[in-house]
Structure 1
Amino acid sequence: MPKPVACPLFLAIRHRICRKLTHITYRSLYRTHCRVKSGPETTFYDTSSASLPAQKVRAMTNAFVLSDIALTTLALCLAGAFGLLLGKLQIRKVGLGIGGVLFSGILIGHFASRAGIEFDGEVMHFVRELGLILFVYTIGIQVGPSFFSSFAKSGLKFNLAAIGIVLGGVVMTVLVYALADLPLPVLVGVMSGAVTNTPGLGAAQQVLGDAGFPPSEVAESGMGYAMAYPFGILGILTSMFVIRFLFGIVLEREEAAYRAESQSGEEALPSMNVAVTNANLDGLRLGDVPDLFDHGVVASRMKKGDDLVVPTRDVIVHLGDCLHLVGPAEKLQAMKLILGREIDAPLTTKGTKLTWSRLVVTKDRVLGKTLKELAFLEGHGVTVSRINRAGVELPAQGGSTLGFGDIVTVVGTKADIDAVASQLGNENARLQEVQFPALFFGIALGVLLGSIPLAVPGLPAPLKLGLAGGPLMAAILLGRLGHWGPFTWYMPPAANHALREFGIVLFLAVVGIVAGDRFFETLFEGDGLSWMGYGILITLVPLLVVGTIARVFGKFNYLSLCGVLAGSMTDPPALAFAVAMSKTGAASVAYVSVYPLVMFLRILAPQVLVLVLASMGAGAF
């Protein structure tokens, strides 16, 4: 097919237009200067002397210019996107996880530096701190409701072991500082990477800046972190393998032992059926029976003859009545002595007009109120037998307060339960709403709390919780409080997870990009390999020493021990590996028990190290 022949008039017009556009582009765009990064200074090139073809190319490229903020945002988003994809890659079910963002950021920072691209330092610093605040705050809100109750069970034993691992890491860090010529910023970075604790790095970088270290030296802590981080993950897994091999552990036996131990104390709130045989109680109101309702024991069902009734406070007690009691085991035994004797006859609601239901507290007007204050409960003829808060069952007594998201077990007729449900809320849709006023107010309180100087004897400067510790502590306390005035500190699990991941991605992306400028030079031409070796010592020695002591003297179940090891390093990839060993959930329980305290200590330790070692200097050793 022959090619079409262009019209000469059209060619002439196009030629004139192109010349005019070239002239306009040249005059408007390239009498300006192009800024290119060149070493410590910025070099300016005048493009007015460039040839016409070069001007055309430069005009087209210069028309697409990213501002400093746009360029920084682009780099952060790319680091987050590709880092999360990198973290999903696994070898034998082990991957970098969220740590992939750090290494993606390192690559972007490296290539950006080689291309002469600069990022806005103030924007990067703000994004790093904001990401850290979001991360630690959402952790605190998540664990706050169960933080203090975790010590009630075997949490005390688990936390003692975890504290030993944290202190062991600090001791190893001090020894490295004493024996090696390692800069303090690099030291705390290596320590944070060795224990895979990102908020600790954030706290260290903040206190380094407050202590007067220049930004270039503060950035070295990020490189130290990046060098030690990979083996920080592998070191936890290695310690699990070594302990298992050293003691010849058989997983099936550990699972059986854990199940037997769990079943022996599994029921958090046991129940008991008791017949009234104490003649002194005959004719009394049920609310007048000593130690009932307001002292940890509640009657959820009552049988009078052949009828099952709701045991409200105004019901009259007669000999032969049977009560279904719920409460702590020791208080049930004491209550049995008051009422009469234990019986085996079931007091089930099947085949009766009574039923039971679990209702979710979502109405604002009942938050913070005690069961005694909520007169509508007994007014509708229902009784509350249990309160479940953040997975922990609490006895329902008169002084028990209700919090948002609490699950209460009520007994009564269906009509009465429906009426109470409308009073309590029972709207599952509200559980998916994010309480943004409480979120922002809580973060503000955390920032203020972290800025309060705490004078500690022996330290040259006041200690601060900082932007990592302050929001964490505030969130734990507010999460435990649950409700105050117009604020409700409850966050849906999905929203909590999303904000937590978003925050840590921002933080790691910034740390990686800033460290990427000199990462590979430090690794291959500098001291990177020695930093990695120091990180291995800080990781392995405390884990193996404390793990062995816990197994030999503490008689730790191996599955629980793996959870403690992972929790002591606040390392989700290690937890995932431990959970994959068994379906008992032992590792998860131990991990959650130690996580809050360990996170707090991991954030506090770098700050104390910086203040103490900076005042003493390497020469003190």
Structure 2
Amino acid sequence: AAGLTLGKLRVGKISLGITFVFFVGILAAHFGVTVDPKMNSFAQTIGLALFVYALGVEVGPSFFPSLKSQGIFYNSLGLLVIILGLALVLAMHFLLGISMPNLLGIMSGAVTNTPMLAAVQSTLQDALGAEGSRQVADLALGCALTYPLGVVGMILAIICLNFIDPHKNKEEGSTQAQRTTYITELELTNTKLFGKTILEVVHLEPKHFIISRIWRGEKLIVPTSETVLYEGDHLLVLIHPEDLEEFITFFGQRAESRDWNRPDIDWDAIDSQLISKRIIITNSRVNGAKLGALRLRNQYGINITRIDRAGIEILATPDLRLQLGDRLSVVGESQEVIKAAKFLGDSINMLDKPKLFSFFFGLAMGCILGSIPLAIPGLSMPIKLGLAGGPIIMGILMGAFGPSLRIATYMSNSATQLIKQLGIILYLAGLGLASGAHFFDMIIHGSGLLWILLGFLITFLPTMLVGILSLFGYRKTHAETVGMLCGVMANSMALDYAMSINDSRSSSVAYAIVYPVGMFVRIISAQILLSFFL
């Protein structure tokens, strides 16, 4: 309770949040508070498993979509940050002689990634058993020492990158760069397409697109696959941003009457006789069904222009499998949209019912997966994914593919946050109590100050190098760059600061794209690296 209360404190725009639970546990242990070791171990185990599995289920729906389009670029830069960090750890090990377990503990705090710490602890315990209890405690000390500067160092990197940003005095990025789908208005002047139906036109172009509206003179049309195109039609087309020039050539010419990608467009006023509505998938019979198989356009005469899944905007393709909780942007006549909403569910109350069986089934499967030894060539002993790696992988798989198997994995945001918060509180409190007795001794008489410095270098150097590459080499905006960096560092506190100085949602988009992949790679790579030194 004391840790949660302190977590609400802010210094400027900076707060350590729930991590204060960890530090209160350390302080309590320093003053002699003890807990039965078996009970403490059980609390940490349960807390960790709940946290990482709920995290996996949460990011699962957006995990694989994030690997497409702009996601490939963002995640490539994120992986470069991770590789540079691991290279620094290896250099410190060979130059300074610090043990690899201690360095990985330092790194866990420096990159503000407690699931990574738990994965390394699990691997160390499996390898050394009871004899490694002190090393496991030192791991937690390393994390505790470097975590505060992990937050501050990331914010300092954001400030430095903003200072040297070559685009600082220019307009904040192009709209294309901030979106995974792009809306453009095109005039049909390509004579080869005159008189053809939309279905015929779709077969002529291998890349996917959606025609959501057609203006023919003063008349507005919601097209179907059988709608015939004529010379001079103005088409509102949804595409991937990088395909814009190709589609301008394909249809004829660009005819932008306004910026159709602005978030404040009043679609209802534009459409007049049409309405635009967001429909939430809550009908369990639709869960896992392919969008094309539902034939919504033919049955209701509506167009689905965009789909929002866990914060990631997805282009509505026929092969896309819908999931509970998906938010569909729909355009059509009022009565038909109402009928479609009734078919798809659109009842937020249905999502409030917990899916307990699928949650605990997936959690159990994740624990089993984490206990399976995996033989890797070059390692003297097999590794286990443990209670950090196994549940997060199973959570991602359940979140991504559960709907395809007709398994309802959706949890409301409040339920997900409750489970994650409960899990991480149990884990951090137990971890602090188990390792806090030697914390201040490490700072005063040990290598604590050196560890803090090394942690700062692990935080600051990779983020600055990759940030400079993104700004100057790839000409990305400051908002996109720091969002990506915060995502790979799993640093939501720094993201809050970044969004306060950038009036753009591209920071949160880049964060959401990189976060799941970065979390997964951090956990697995740390375990593999440690295994080479045991």
TM category (shorter chain) comes to 0.7 to 0.9
Deviations 1:377-432 (A, max 9, x none): 52344443443333444444443332212223334432222222211111122233
In the alignment, the residues of structure 1 paired with residue 285 and residue 328 of structure 2 have an alpha-carbon distance, to the nearest angstrom, of: 16
Match of 1:444 in 2: 364
Answer whether contact 2:141 2:439 (CA < 8 A) is retained. Answer: yes
Cα deviation for residue 295 of structure 1 reads 6.8
Q: Does 1:167 align with 2:83?
A: yes
Q: Does 1:218 align with 2:218?
A: no
Cα deviation for residue 290 of structure 1 reads 5.2
In the alignment, the residues of structure 1 paired with residue 245 and residue 475 of structure 2 have an alpha-carbon distance, to the nearest angstrom, of: 31
Match of 1:233 in 2: 151
Q: Does 1:270 align with 2:188?
A: no
Match of 1:142 in 2: 58
Match of 1:513 in 2: 433
Cα deviation for residue 319 of structure 1 reads 5.6
Deviations 1:81-101 (A, max 9, x none): 111222222223323222211
Cα deviation for residue 278 of structure 1 reads 5.8
Answer whether contact 2:110 2:146 (CA < 8 A) is retained. Answer: yes
- Seen in structure 2, the aligned counterparts of structure 1 residues 608 and 428 have a Cα distance that, compared at 3 Å, is same
In the alignment, the residues of structure 2 paired with residue 497 and residue 104 of structure 1 have an alpha-carbon distance, to the nearest angstrom, of: 22
SS of aligned partner of 1:112: coil
SS of aligned partner of 2:499: helix
Q: CA RMSD in A?
A: 3.7
Q: Does 1:488 align with 2:408?
A: yes
Answer whether contact 1:194 1:536 (CA < 8 A) is retained. Answer: yes
- Seen in structure 2, the aligned counterparts of structure 1 residues 126 and 387 have a Cα distance that, compared at 3 Å, is same
Q: Does 1:254 align with 2:158?
A: no
Match of 2:393 in 1: 473
1:370 aligned to 290, 294, 310, which one? Answer: 290
In the alignment, the residues of structure 1 paired with residue 143 and residue 161 of structure 2 have an alpha-carbon distance, to the nearest angstrom, of: 26
Match of 2:208 in 1: 296
Give the aligned residue type for 1:270.
I
**Counterparts of residues 52-201 of structure 1 (less than 5 Å):** 81-113=1-33, 118-180=34-96, 182-201=98-117
- Seen in structure 2, the aligned counterparts of structure 1 residues 405 and 564 have a Cα distance that, compared at 3 Å, is closer
Answer whether contact 1:255 1:559 (CA < 8 A) is retained. Answer: no
In the alignment, the residues of structure 2 paired with residue 439 and residue 565 of structure 1 have an alpha-carbon distance, to the nearest angstrom, of: 31
Deviations 1:227-255 (A, max 9, x none): 2223222332333445556x4x58xx527
In the alignment, the residues of structure 1 paired with residue 225 and residue 77 of structure 2 have an alpha-carbon distance, to the nearest angstrom, of: 47
Deviations 1:254-287 (A, max 9, x none): 2734x243357758242445569869975x7765
2:452 aligned to 532, 544, 547, which one? Answer: 532
Give the aligned residue type for 2:209.
V
Cα deviation for residue 322 of structure 1 reads 4.5
Deviations 1:49-91 (A, max 9, x none): xxxxxxxxxxxxxxxxxxxxxxxxxxxxxxxx11122222222
Match of 2:238 in 1: 327
Gaps of 5+ in 2: 259-266
Moved more, 102-111 or 126-135: 126-135
Match of 1:204 in 2: 120
Match of 2:443 in 1: 523
- Seen in structure 2, the aligned counterparts of structure 1 residues 324 and 123 have a Cα distance that, compared at 3 Å, is same
TM-score (norm 1): 0.73
Give the aligned residue type for 2:500.
A
- Seen in structure 2, the aligned counterparts of structure 1 residues 337 and 603 have a Cα distance that, compared at 3 Å, is closer
- Seen in structure 2, the aligned counterparts of structure 1 residues 198 and 548 have a Cα distance that, compared at 3 Å, is same
Give the aligned residue type for 1:124.
N
Cα deviation for residue 568 of structure 1 reads 3.3
Moved more, 420-429 or 355-364: 355-364
Moved more, 509-518 or 187-196: 187-196
1:605 aligned to 499, 518, 525, which one? Answer: 525
Give the aligned residue type for 1:311.
P
Moved more, 224-233 or 561-570: 561-570
Moved more, 576-585 or 378-387: 378-387
Give the aligned residue type for 1:513.
L
Deviations 1:448-486 (A, max 9, x none): 332333322211122332211222222223322351445
Give the aligned residue type for 1:261.
S
Answer whether contact 1:169 1:542 (CA < 8 A) is retained. Answer: yes
Cα deviation for residue 439 of structure 1 reads 1.8
What is the number of residues matched between the two proteins? Answer: 523
SS of aligned partner of 1:561: helix
Gaps of 5+ in 1: 1-80, 615-621
SS of aligned partner of 1:518: helix
**Counterparts of residues 418-457 of structure 1 (less than 5 Å):** 418-457=338-377
In the alignment, the residues of structure 2 paired with residue 606 and residue 359 of structure 1 have an alpha-carbon distance, to the nearest angstrom, of: 41
SS of aligned partner of 2:329: strand
Match of 1:311 in 2: 223
SS of aligned partner of 1:387: strand
SS of aligned partner of 1:388: strand
Cα deviation for residue 304 of structure 1 reads 7.6
Rg larger in structure: 1
In the alignment, the residues of structure 2 paired with residue 520 and residue 377 of structure 1 have an alpha-carbon distance, to the nearest angstrom, of: 66
1:498 aligned to 418, 425, 429, which one? Answer: 418
Match of 1:595 in 2: 515
Answer whether contact 2:289 2:404 (CA < 8 A) is retained. Answer: no
In the alignment, the residues of structure 1 paired with residue 257 and residue 469 of structure 2 have an alpha-carbon distance, to the nearest angstrom, of: 48
Give % identity.
34
In the alignment, the residues of structure 1 paired with residue 445 and residue 468 of structure 2 have an alpha-carbon distance, to the nearest angstrom, of: 38
In the alignment, the residues of structure 2 paired with residue 272 and residue 584 of structure 1 have an alpha-carbon distance, to the nearest angstrom, of: 24
In the alignment, the residues of structure 2 paired with residue 545 and residue 573 of structure 1 have an alpha-carbon distance, to the nearest angstrom, of: 21
Answer whether contact 1:273 1:345 (CA < 8 A) is retained. Answer: no
